[in-house]
Structure 1
Amino acid sequence: MFQEERLRSIIDYLKKAKRISVDEICSLFDVSRDTARRDLVKLEEDKAIIRTRGGAILPSGQHVIKDYSNRLSLVSSEKKRIGKKAASLIMPGDYIILDTSTTVQACAEHLKDIECTVITNSINQADILAKNSQAHIQLLGGEFHKEHRYLYGTSVIEKLSHYHVDKTFIGCVGISEKGLTVAHEEDGMVMQKMMQQADQVILLADHTKIGVTGYFRCATLNDIDLFITDQEIDEEFQELLEKHGVELLIVSQTHDGGR
């Protein structure tokens, strides 16, 4: 079960039981305590729960949960728009790296049949691109993360050091003044190396990730060249991006635009 599915299930459980413990999350979804805690951190960041000692409860007011559930159901269309725009930036002959995020997966889904070389540690990305007749796929080998279907570890990082690519496409849990953050340290360590090996680093993240700081920082804003998102962002954050040399590309629901 992916994290987004698990988060929905946790909210559904809370609506009925009013509270949930870390141990109950571990038992219900067969995950580790660390994974359960990260789920609660994510839900708290999205203001969907209030964390308590050893678990969580619902906040007062059902509109918060309704908004959160609606956002989860809508995020796929947002990711598709972002992914489609990102895929349009891949040129014939490009060497690219794709990370494990679902927004980057949308990029893989929209990649046209053009000759290019794709390096990835994601089983999902490789499976999607297997249907692309022109894409050459280099799947990085390492320890397999069963829950999120990616490969990680020192062997993946060492293998990446031998490559130089035109573009790296990455996602994140949050982007804020503190940089880019992800939910898992092992994923973040691989992402750091992916960024180092590219001429251009392209971040794909919908508007819900802006202003969010997650568990593990994998990059500073200085490490990003282009940020593709789906909605206008506030002036203060735009100025922060400009200060760090990050180009902003906004893909609206009705048209593709940039700034």
Structure 2
Amino acid sequence: MLHALDRQKIILDNLKVDSVTSINHLIQKTKFHESTIRRDLKILAVNQKIVIVRGGVIPLKEVDKKPNFIKNIEQKKKIARYAASLIEEKDSIIINGGTTCSLIPDYLENNNIKALTNSFSIASKLLNKNVTDVTIPGGRIYEHHSLILSPFNFETIKHFHASKLFLSCLSINEVGLLEDDENLAKFVTGLINISDEIILLVDDTKFYKNDGSFIVCPLESIDTIITNKLSSKVQNFQKACLRAVTVSD
């Protein structure tokens, strides 16, 4: 019989390969009994080796990766702070990955909420804020974006319902929101379809950029845009959306 430390090393070695995984997947890979796996995972979590969330297990080295925030960080912080102020007690929210969205938990005051995110770092921050219910969808790891995207036609989260969806994008113009990855664009479109209120977080550098060739949604799908600057040349964004909020620099 393997010693507990040996079992835990095997679990961590599997997480090095998969980055995020389910308990059932670990049982299949390690052949350990379910009760043994769960006991070892609790020990690893107490020792701050992993984070256990609904939908998976994440090695701490993954959730603690610091995004390389360089450009427009102060603007992003102010946008995220305002977005966090919109979250009310008992809200059911989705926070999509992205540099600005990943700052929302830093300013979160209400932790009696349900939250779904496809970002490791956002999930970790929500747990550190003692959010009572955090869900991560299953799917493929997109290391470049530090996201989990489901390849199964949205099966993993189609039954989730959000009162508010917070998202960003690579760029935005008259066509709508744009991304550089087809699967990411499809995934975010799916998130929009299960959400009541769509809130876009973008700094002014995202407007009228030619980055991204995959349309996430038209402007009319967005309920609120939060940005640091809404110049005269982008007034049509304000017309297309129900609400545009400008936070001061």
TM-score by length of 2: 0.68
Q: Deviations over 1:56-104 (max 9, x none)?
A: xxxxxxxxxxxxxxxx844111111100000000000000001111110
2:176 is the alignment partner of 1:175: no
TM-superposed CA distance for 1:177, in Å, is 0.4
Match of 1:230 among 198, 208, 228: 228
Corresponding residue number in structure 2 for 1:137: 134
Distance in structure 2 (CA, Å) of the matches to 1:181 and 1:109? 26
- Contact persistence 2:150–2:156 (CA under 8 A): no
Alignment of 1:189-228 (within 5 A): 189-215=186-212, 216-228=214-226
Q: Distance in 2 between matches of 1:214 and 1:100?
A: 18
Give the counterpart of 1:120 among 117, 121, 139.
117
- Tell me if 1:241 matches 2:237: yes
Aligned CA distance change for structure 1 residues 136 and 195 (closer, same or farther; 3 Å): same
Q: Name the CA shift for 1:230/1:135 in 2 (closer, same or farther; >3 Å).
A: farther
| Alpha-carbon separation, structure 1, partners of 2:137 and 2:193 | 16
Give % identity. 28
Q: Which amino acid aligns with 2:215?
A: R
| Residues 160, 233 of structure 1: alpha-carbon distance in 2 compared, 3 angstrom cutoff | farther
Flag as ranges the 4+ runs of structure 1 deviating above 6 A.
none
Q: What per-residue deviation string (whole Å, max 9, x for no partner) do you get for residues 132-168 of structure 1?
A: 1134101111011123221113337222221111000
Aligned pair partner of 1:148 in 140, 145, 149: 145
* Structure 1 counterpart SS, 2:154: helix
Match of 1:111 among 103, 108, 112: 108
Distance in 2 between the 1:86 and 1:138 partners?
A: 20
How far apart, CA to CA, are the structure 1 residues paired with 2:101 and 2:153? Answer: 19
Q: 1:111, CA displacement in angstroms?
A: 1.2
Superposed CA RMSD in Å reads 1.6
Greater CA drift, 83-92 or 127-136: 127-136
* Partner secondary structure for residue 155 of structure 2: helix
Determine which structure has the larger helix proportion and give its number.
1
CA distance in structure 2 between the partners assigned to 1:143 and 1:99 by the alignment: 15
1:84 corresponds to which of 81, 84, 87: 81
3-state DSSP of counterpart to 2:78: helix
Q: Is the 8 A contact 2:105 2:129 kept in 1?
A: no
**Contact 2:154/2:190 (<8 A) preserved:** yes
Distance 1:107 1:156, change over 3 A: farther
Q: SS of the counterpart of 1:217?
A: strand
> Aligned residue pairs: how many?
180
Residues 31-73 of structure 1 deviation map (CA, whole Å, 9 limit, x = unaligned): xxxxxxxxxxxxxxxxxxxxxxxxxxxxxxxxxxxxxxxxx84
Equivalent-residue separation in structure 1 for 2:183 and 2:241 (angstroms): 27
Structure 1 letter corresponding to 2:217 = A
1:213 Cα offset (Å): 3.2
CA distance in 1, matches of 2:217, 2:184: 12
Task: Report the CA distance shift for 1:249/1:135 in structure 2 as closer, same or farther (over 3 A).
Answer: farther
- The separation in 1 between residues aligned to 2:157 and 2:204, in whole angstroms, is 30
